[in-house]
Amino acid sequence: MTKAVFYHAGCPVCVSAEQQVLDIIDGNKVELEVVHFGEGKADRIPEAESAGVKSVPALVIDGNVLHINFGASMDDVKKAVAA
């Protein structure tokens, strides 16, 4: 089973991308976790950065990062969740 994590921060770009990714992913092959930094998941930011996430939305598949569109840089995310 492939493990995938979709990291996002609730921005409109993220939410739109999330819906499209959820729509096309094969649930039989992929175990998908969605992590929304803005909803109590700010403690997952270091994990995302360690995986190589530079911006959100991003999809990490078995440790490989796919950055999708360009919603917000991780620096912007850190500022937003700290505010």
The mark string for 56-75 relative to its own copies (x by CB under 8 A, - otherwise) is -----x--xxxxxxx-----
How far apart CA 72 and CA 4 sit, in angstroms, is: 20
Compare residues 29 and 40 and give the one whose CB is closer to its own copies.
Answer: 29
Question: Does residue 9 interact with its own copies by CB under 8 A?
Answer: no
Query: 49: closest CA among 18, 75, 12?
Result: 75
Looking at beta carbons, which pairs linking 73-78 to residues 24 or more positions away fall under 8 Å? 74/45, 74/48, 74/49, 77/9, 77/37, 77/45, 78/45
Q: Could you give the string, one character per residue 17-56, with x where binding to its own copies holds by CB under 8 A and - elsewhere?
A: x--xx-xxxxxxxx--------------------------
Residues that bind its own copies (CB under 8 A): 2, 4, 16-17, 20-21, 23-30, 61, 64-70
